[in-house]
Chain A
């Protein structure tokens, strides 16, 4: 155990990245993110943008479900709120896209606050059902509030413009989305260095003794809902600029399950977990598709035969994680780190 903390180094001790290898890896990763768009073809850039959007939303859900212990199946609906807000502002007000995205987050946060109200009374499955009910109500609103949402035909957006340039190709969007997502992940990591994040964890672990420590359950449960849906709203806003069509079917209920699965597979209650989980859930189905493509020369109708198998393999992978690595992908990374940390002194 490395202790020996000299009194003046609390700042270093409380930093996000405390060891040199950690900083090194992070530097390499950031560098990789910067040069990746110049190496990737359009298809992979498309996936990279999608990953950025999903990481942002999964990080939000992780704050609520992983750190505060409030199960929500409404994340996709909150994303839809953000996407519609962005679409409406873009079409009706013509405001700058960064402002629209932030507004999408704020409107989603307000809706999240409302949806979070039942969390003061119910937990676990009951809360999950309440958030499903909220999703259904929101879907109804999207279909029927014609004047704002344009009903079933939805909204078609013009491209976002940044400094006069329309952001039309994936490389341009990548350079907008990745920094936004990076900032959001950094914000989430910061949160857990302060009283706010500690309060969330306290509520998750023992809400009764949290109260004795002066943590207001009302205030912090609602805060957690608000911030989680803010993240969803911003992600939904990016989604809107990415696909440029927002309809009531853009954010189906399975998309909420997708995010819950992502944080479970990645590792609940860890910043890294939400990232890894979102990457896994977004990319693995694609990788499996490649597997099938490679088989096609050997097995002429592989695509037709194996497509269902792909879904099954994906499902099995998730189940496998639940059984063999219940703490998620983040735990594998931690273990590897510990191993190399001790290496070559490992007993």
Chain B
């Protein structure tokens, strides 16, 4: 049972990726990538479309099995662990293409996030007695207090997710990830497709998560304005390789980075992004995985 793996440890974790390589048939999506995300900091993973960012996330959360290299979580090698076990350890993520349960209410979606840390078994569930009921009530109270209030989604808690705007859905996905008691939070393009105001809200929430929860955050994002504003450390991927890393302003000034983006054939948009002029870059890449089909 996954609950048994629950280490009970809390607080920010350190994530290290070492020499990771992943290929799909002949296509090398990642080639010997190494980087780390430091406890309690925000690390941004950037790069042009198709650079391998989502593939990297999928390796970290256990969907893809890299052919080479390792993922370590607070020093522990998790490369071969299945996704549910990683969830119990404190891996939480959001998806580039929102992966909420559309028929369920916001509240139920968020509650689902706590699954790995709950104990109610089948028989208790059928009877909904004593411990099962208590556990549900504790969860509800904590979700209300720490998550729903915090992310300002009180007004939608009982609505089905399918009825929400794109920006709110992204926020609910963050809420669900927070319900997982994350020790590392992986956010895949948290503001893609959002308008300026929604982007600013989301940036503020991410900063608040870092400050109030002290969670380690690894974020893939195309919105350079946001990356420059909130990240502590930036790693740049291109064609599956790390081409630059450092503080946001260092990376911004790195000629390799500009070149990589120029090479991606969209210089005008890039320059705009680099100046942080736009909050609505969105993603325009080719379908990269099977979860894309049901984008909101």
Task: Enumerate chain A interface residues (CB-CB to B < 8 A).
Answer: 1, 3, 5, 7, 10-11, 13-14, 187-188, 190-191, 193-199, 201-202, 205-206, 208-209, 211-216, 219, 223, 227
Complex-state Cα separation, A199 to B3, whole angstroms = 14
Q: Is the CB of B158 within 8 A of A213?
A: no
CB distance from B37 to the nearest CB of A (A): 18
Q: Is the CB of A195 within 8 A of B84?
A: no
Q: Is the CB of B83 within 8 A of A212?
A: yes
Complex-state Cα separation, A208 to B82, whole angstroms = 12
> Among A5, A190, A214, A227, which residue has its beta carbon within 8 angstroms of that of B115?
A214
Complex-state Cα separation, A234 to B93, whole angstroms = 41
Please judge, given known A-B contacts A11-B137, A201-B104, whether A195 and B120 are in contact too, CB under 8 Å: yes
Q: Is the CB of A214 within 8 A of B116?
A: yes
Q: Is the CB of A3 within 8 A of B63?
A: no
- How many pairs of A and B residues are in contact by the CB < 8 Å rule? 118
CB distance from A290 to the nearest CB of B (A): 38
Q: Is the CB of A213 within 8 A of B87?
A: yes
Q: Is the CB of B120 within 8 A of A213?
A: no
Q: Is the CB of A190 within 8 A of B128?
A: yes
Whose C-beta in chain B lies nearest to the C-beta of A206?
Answer: B99
> Among A194, A205, A219, which residue has its beta carbon within 8 angstroms of that of B101?
A205
Please judge, given known A-B contacts A10-B141, A196-B120, A199-B115, whether A211 and B84 are in contact too, CB under 8 Å: yes
Instruction: List chain B residues, Cβ under 8 A from A198.
Output: 104, 108, 111-112, 115
Q: Is the CB of A190 within 8 A of B83?
A: no
Q: Is the CB of B137 within 8 A of A197?
A: no
Task: Enumerate chain B interface residues (CB-CB to A < 8 A).
Answer: 1-2, 61-63, 82-84, 87-88, 91, 93, 95, 99, 101-104, 108, 111-118, 120-122, 124-128, 132, 135-137, 140-141, 144, 154-155, 157-159, 176, 180, 290-291, 294
Instruction: List chain B residues, Cβ under 8 A from A216.
Output: 1-2, 82, 84
CB distance from B100 to the nearest CB of A (A): 8
Whose C-beta in chain B lies nearest to the C-beta of A226?
Answer: B122
Instruction: List chain A residues, Cβ under 8 A from B136.
Output: 14, 193-194
- Most B CB contacts (10 A, CB to CB) among A195, A214, A215 go to A214
Q: A-side binding surface: helix, strand, loop or mixed?
A: helix
Question: Which 9 residue pairs of A and B lie closest in terms of their CB atoms, listed nearest first?
Answer: A214-B116, A214-B87, A190-B128, A187-B126, A209-B99, A211-B83, A196-B125, A194-B125, A205-B101
Q: Is the CB of A212 within 8 A of B120?
A: no
Q: Is the CB of B155 within 8 A of A194?
A: no
Complex-state Cα separation, A194 to B101, whole angstroms = 16
Complex-state Cα separation, A216 to B62, whole angstroms = 13
CB distance from B189 to the nearest CB of A (A): 16
CB distance from B164 to the nearest CB of A (A): 13
> Among B2, B127, B155, which residue has its beta carbon within 8 angstroms of that of A190?
B127
* Given A190-B126, A213-B180, 12 other A-B residues pairs in contact with their CB atoms under 8 A: A190-B128, A193-B128, A194-B124, A196-B121, A205-B101, A205-B103, A205-B104, A212-B83, A213-B176, A214-B84, A214-B88, A223-B122
Q: Is the CB of B122 within 8 A of A227?
A: yes
Please judge, given known A-B contacts A3-B154, A190-B126, whether A213 and B116 are in contact too, CB under 8 Å: yes
CB distance from A329 to the nearest CB of B (A): 18
Instruction: List chain A residues, Cβ under 8 A from B127.
Output: 187, 190
- Most B CB contacts (10 A, CB to CB) among A13, A195, A198 go to A195
Complex-state Cα separation, A1 to B158, whole angstroms = 9
Q: List 13 A-B contacts (CB under 8 A).
A: A10-B140, A187-B127, A190-B125, A199-B115, A201-B101, A201-B103, A208-B99, A208-B291, A209-B99, A212-B61, A212-B83, A213-B84, A213-B180
Instruction: List chain B residues, Cβ under 8 A from A205.
Output: 101-104
Instruction: List chain A residues, Cβ under 8 A from B101.
Output: 201-202, 205-206
Complex-state Cα separation, A206 to B63, whole angstroms = 14
Q: Is the CB of A215 within 8 A of B84?
A: yes
Whose C-beta in chain A lies nearest to the C-beta of B88?
Answer: A214
CB distance from A28 to the nearest CB of B (A): 23
CB distance from B291 to the nearest CB of A (A): 6
Instruction: List chain A residues, Cβ under 8 A from B128.
Output: 190, 193-194
Instruction: List chain B residues, Cβ under 8 A from A13.
Output: 140
Complex-state Cα separation, A190 to B129, whole angstroms = 9
Q: Is the CB of B87 within 8 A of A196?
A: no
Complex-state Cα separation, A14 to B83, whole angstroms = 30
Complex-state Cα separation, A211 to B61, whole angstroms = 10
Instruction: List chain A residues, Cβ under 8 A from B140.
Output: 10, 13-14
CB distance from A270 to the nearest CB of B (A): 11
Instruction: List chain B residues, Cβ under 8 A from A191.
Output: 125-126
Instruction: List chain B residues, Cβ under 8 A from A227.
Output: 122, 126
Instruction: List chain A residues, Cβ under 8 A from B113.
Output: 213
Whose C-beta in chain B lies nearest to the C-beta of A209?
Answer: B99
Instruction: List chain A residues, Cβ under 8 A from B84.
Output: 211, 213-216
Instruction: List chain B residues, Cβ under 8 A from A3.
Output: 154-155, 157-158
Instruction: List chain B residues, Cβ under 8 A from A211.
Output: 62, 82-84, 87
Instruction: List chain A residues, Cβ under 8 A from B158.
Output: 1, 3
Instruction: List chain B residues, Cβ under 8 A from A187.
Output: 126-127
Instruction: List chain B residues, Cβ under 8 A from A223.
Output: 122
CB distance from B148 to the nearest CB of A (A): 10
Please judge, given known A-B contacts A194-B132, A216-B84, A219-B1, whether A14 and B125 are in contact too, CB under 8 Å: no
Complex-state Cα separation, A320 to B109, whole angstroms = 34
Please judge, given known A-B contacts A191-B125, A194-B125, A227-B122, whether A215 and B132 are in contact too, CB under 8 Å: no
